[in-house]
Amino acid sequence: KDYAKIIKVNKNKRAGRYCVRNLRIAVCDVIGWLASGMTNEEIIEEHPDLTLQDLQACLSFAADRDRSLN
C-alpha cells in the first residue's frame, strides 16, 4: 500500500494510534478535520508539517480499514 510509508504506529506517541509519519498527528485527527468540513488547504495551513500526500494517505488508510471490517 502506498500509505504504508506514511502511516505509522509508535507505541510512545498518541497511545499507539496510527499517525502520519513520525508526527503526533493521528489519522483519526485528519479524518475528523475533513469530516468537519475543513479543506485540504486549511488543514495544511494549520498543520504545515502535513502534505497533500499525507492527507490522501490518511483517506486511503481509513478506506482500507473500513473494507477490512466487512
Tell me the pLDDT tens digit for each residue of 10-51.
999 999 999 999 899 999 999 999 999 999 999 999 999 999
Q: Are 34 and 55 in contact (CB under 8 A)?
A: yes
Q: What was the pLDDT predicted at 15?
A: 94
- Residue that the C-alpha cell 502506498 belongs to: 2
Global pTM reads 0.91
